[in-house]
Chain A
Amino acid sequence: MHPAPSVIFFTVFSGIGFGLLAFLGLGFPNVSGLTAFAFFVIAYLCAVGGLIASTFHLGHPERAMKAFTQWRSSWLSREGICAVVALLVMALYGAGLVFLGERWGLLGLIGTIFSLLTVFTTSMIYTQLKTIPRWNTPATPAMFMSYALAGGALLSGQITWAMALLAVAAIVQVVVWMQGDGAFAGSGSTLAAATGLGADGAVRAFEPPHTGTNYLLKEFAFVVGRKHGMKLRIIGIVLMAVLPVLLLAASFSHLIALLAVVSHIAGALTTRWLFFAEAEHVVGLYYGKR
């Protein structure tokens, strides 16, 4: 799949933002006044910034409001609704903390639930696609949720939780890679099934339909940088989890926490790039690309 920067930024930052909101909703850290204001600003910058980034890859962003209508069938629509509800509820909850010094626990809990639902619905947009066997597995929501929780714990300064959840995210990510590498072969989609010609012998793509490229090849047959896949996986997981855990274990200061956050985000962007770049769409079979 073509790794569009807008979608990579969107999933990483909205995941971290809603992860932080989930912790804030439960009262971790238990802050009020200006400190609470600072935490909520960071959370909203990540979550809303990510959502705005996601509209950059739309052909007609001016019609984005229509995307709230099809929640009965569409995970993308459900995601939009969950995000708006989470942001509105958490804004009210945050206003209580910042301006009144009051913590409305039930409202926070509702906000936490919708924040986590937003991350879950985001992951289901990818998980539902049978056409991309690497994503079509329960491991995909597990990966998105573990990233959001680890990032949320890290940004909310819950050191012990952050170290544990970063380790969980790393383990889930490794499982996702190990499982994903055999997913296409295990899906049963082959050129023989795609053409129905397998009964007569070995099928080979002989000529593509056009001499030039097209939307399908650009969007679904992305292979650039795949040869560096293993190196990028190692870089990604070291930056995303290993280095932040080591930094947090060493000692705690605001500078070290900042370094841990920067490292985590850089790692998450790397692994998310791989999430898209390594995903193989079955339509590539017709073009002899699988």
Chain B
Amino acid sequence: MTTLPQSTTRKLGLVIDLDTCVGCHACVISCKGWNTENYGAPLSDTDAYGADPSGTFLNRVHSFEVKPPILKDQPAPEAQLIHFPKSCLHCEDAPCVTVCPTGASYKRVEDGIVLVNESDCIGCGLCAWACPYGAREMDAVEKVMKKCTLCVDRIYNENLPEEDREPACVRTCPAGARHFGDFADPDSNVSKLSAERGGMDLMPEQGTKPVNKYLPPRPKDTLSEGAGDIDILAPYLEPVAQEAKGFLGWLDKTLEKL
């Protein structure tokens, strides 16, 4: 049934730390790998080695530039580059679920994960139209809607060692920028982290009430302090030998004269 549950017992989701994400795209690759080899239709690529490659991804990393405003009498502040992973936010008020005509899209009562039952999906694409975040992609080969499952086939999988029972993107992140947990529990790692660092919603004006939270980047050190000379090693890198001596010096001078 594509009506949303009144409330969910748990609210599983991710905290994504924009301060520590280095933009390596490892989460993109591990997500594609796990979700191609395991549950559901594989994530296809079309024209993968040709001129116009395209593929289905459940997680994509954008990069944004943030340019602080120039204040009077101050040197222009440095722009920041923010790497920005984006996947399904498992919204409490998920607009993608209610538009589904077949009941293929649903939000689980037990943990709040938004899933697609692929054998019921007619591939109309309306759920992708309803999602403001671009979290759903129609697979070009399988013709069904694909989306992040929060690795539902890992997190409860007792065949995996306990440390692997978290989403593939979280498990693989080398910077520790992704965290997985239950937002319904105020004492969970993600709830605490989000409260501590001011976890924010994406596009709050859309009224989707996303479960996943993003931690804003911390203010950066000011690079322009200290009269402009920013490299303390620079003096040591001065050229040592300005002029050639000995045989090479003679050769240099002789060749100059020719």
Report which A residues bind B (CB closer than 8 A). 1, 57-61, 63-64, 66-70, 72-77, 80, 125, 128-132, 187-189, 191, 193-197, 199-210, 212-216, 219-220, 281-283, 286-287
On whether A219 and B125 interact (CB within 8 A), knowing A76-B101, A77-B101, the answer reads yes
The 8 Å CB contact of B143, one of A60, A75, A200, A202, is A60
**B216 contacts A188, C-beta separation under 8 Å:** no
Chain B residues with CB below 8 A from A193, complex form: 202-205
Give chain B's interface residues, CB within 8 Å of chain A: 1-4, 18, 25, 28, 52-57, 60-69, 77, 79-82, 84, 86, 95, 97-104, 120-126, 128-134, 137-138, 140, 142-144, 200-207, 214, 216-217
Task: From A58, A130, A202, A213, give the contact of B122 (CB < 8 A).
Answer: A58
The 4 closest A-B pairs by CB, nearest first: A59-B123, A59-B143, A209-B60, A283-B134
* Chain A residues positioned under 8 Å from B202 (CB to CB): 193-196
CA distance A286 to B204 in the complex (A): 15
Query: Are A131 and B132 neighbours in the complex by a CB distance under 8 Å?
Result: yes
A130 touches B207 (CB 8 A): yes
Quick check: B69 and A201 within 8 Å, CB to CB?
yes
**A63 near B217: Cβ-Cβ < 8 Å:** no
| Residue of A with least CB distance to B99 | A74
Q: Do A61 and B54 form a contact, CB below 8 Å, given A197-B64, A204-B67, A208-B62? A: no
Decide if A216 touches B137 in the complex (CB within 8 Å): yes
CB distance from B178 to the nearest CB of A (A): 16
A281 to B131, CA, bound (A): 9
Identify which of A70, A129, A205, A281 contacts B2 (C-beta below 8 A): A70
| A202 to B70 alpha-carbon distance, docked (Å) | 11
A209 and B62 form a contact (CB under 8 A)? yes
Residues of A near B144 (CB, < 8 A) are 59-60
The reply to whether B129 and A132 contact each other, CB–CB distance below 8 Å, is yes
A282 contact set on B, CB distance < 8 A: 132, 203, 206
Bound-state CA distance A187–B205 (Å) is: 8
| Cβ–Cβ contact A196 & B64, under 8 A | no
CB pair A203 B65 closer than 8 Å? yes
Question: Judging by beta carbons under 8 Å apart, are A197 and B28 in contact?
Answer: no
Is B134's CB under 8 angstroms from A66's CB? no
**The residue from A58, A132, A195, A283 contacting B124, defined by CB atoms under 8 A apart:** A58
Q: Which residues of A contact B82 (CB under 8 A)?
A: 195, 197
Which residues of B have CB within 8 Å of A219?
125, 128-129, 138
Chain A residue nearest in CB terms to B97? A73
Minimum distance in angstroms from B240 CB to a CB of chain A: 40
Do B52 and A131 have beta carbons less than 8 Å apart?
A: no
- Would you call B217 and A200 a contact (CB within 8 A)? yes
Nearest-CB residue, chain A, relative to B84: A195
Tell me if A66 and B102 are in contact (CB < 8 A): yes
Cβ-defined contact, B64 with A74, below 8 A: no
How far apart are B7's CB and chain A's nearest CB, in angstroms? 17
> Are A200 and B1 in contact, with the CB atoms below 8 A?
no
CA A73 – CA B99 in complex, angstroms? Answer: 7
Contacts of B28 in A (CB 8 A): 209
